Structure 1
Amino acid sequence: MTKAADIMHPGAQWIPATENLERAAQLMRDLDVGALPISDSQERLCGILTDRDVVVGCVSQGRDPARMTAGDLAKGTPRWISSDADVSEVLREMEDHRIRRLPVIDKNKRLVGMISEADLARHLSEQQISEFVEKVYAT
């Protein structure tokens, strides 16, 4: 049985909710990622920041990314999956919530990785990918 830990990209990195968006953008560039999980002061997941969030939620509104924080853009309840969850649970979570990136948390509630569409494409069958795309991108 394939687990979330088997298909995730390991070594994901948090960004504190208090960190400014300028630093977040630099970190995304340096890590070559399009999203960062946001942590609260207790290192618990409190959101996910995407490169699109920075552009749409800050830059396009004429706001200063050096003055806005990751926490300013953290909205809603973040979704995550346990590292020992079956891949069918991963797909269900991503499909049900129409999300493209999913943080992976270990039994100690620590971030251990991220699952993206690219990870799914590398590890799943064409049929599974087809069903995922149909459910996530359906209008």
Structure 2
Amino acid sequence: MATKKQLTARDIMTAGVQCIGAHQSLKEAAIMMRDMNVGALPICGDNNRLTGLITDRDIVVQCCAEGIDPATVQAGSLSGELHWINASAGADEALATMEQHQIKRMPVIDVEQGHQLVGMITEANLARNLTDAQIAEFATKVYANA
């Protein structure tokens, strides 16, 4: 009997992710999020390598709620702690990393291809690819202290 191939981060990610440049404004990031119907964008530096991740909530809480004009703030200034996963890593490793750090979105990097950003893993990706038990554990760990 053939064994079932373990899913990798590449298997479950959403490909075709676009970056916001670290020097672009939060207003530009918000427009990109609206146009692409996403809640987060990877931030890439001048060398087109991943430097952070920004969410719509980051823009609202750390900029708009403070009365700061989002057109005057660079996206890179809000890039906090960054967690990512290698594209060849197992889906279970991606799940464990997201649970450990209580994150809902995680960039996927192809280390073998020069550390290029190749996709993003979101809650929706997990829901489509993991068992009900894995999803329940994820929800418990990520939302327990939310």
Given the two structures, how large is their TM-score scaled by the length of structure 1?
0.96
User: Which of these two proteins has the greater Rg computed from alpha carbons?
Assistant: 2
Structure 1 moving runs of 4+ over 3 Å: none
Structure 2 unaligned blocks of 5 or more:
1-5
- Residue in 2 aligned with 1:129? 135
Q: Deviations over 1:20-57 (max 9, x none)?
A: 01110000011110000111112222111000011011
Q: Does 1:31 align with 2:33?
A: no
Q: Helix, strand or coil: the match of 1:52?
A: helix
Instruction: Give the superposed CA RMSD.
Output: 0.9
* TM-score normalised by the chain length of structure 2: 0.91
Among the aligned pairs, what percent are the same residue? 51
Q: For the residues of structure 2 that align with 1:90 and 1:137, how far apart are their CA atoms?
A: 17
Please list, as runs of the form range in 1=range in 2, the aligned pairs for 1:91-102 lying within 5 A after superposition: 91-102=95-106
Count matched residues.
138
State the secondary structure of the residue aligned to 1:42: coil
Once the two structures are TM-superposed, the CA of residue 75 in structure 1 deviates from its matched residue by 2.0
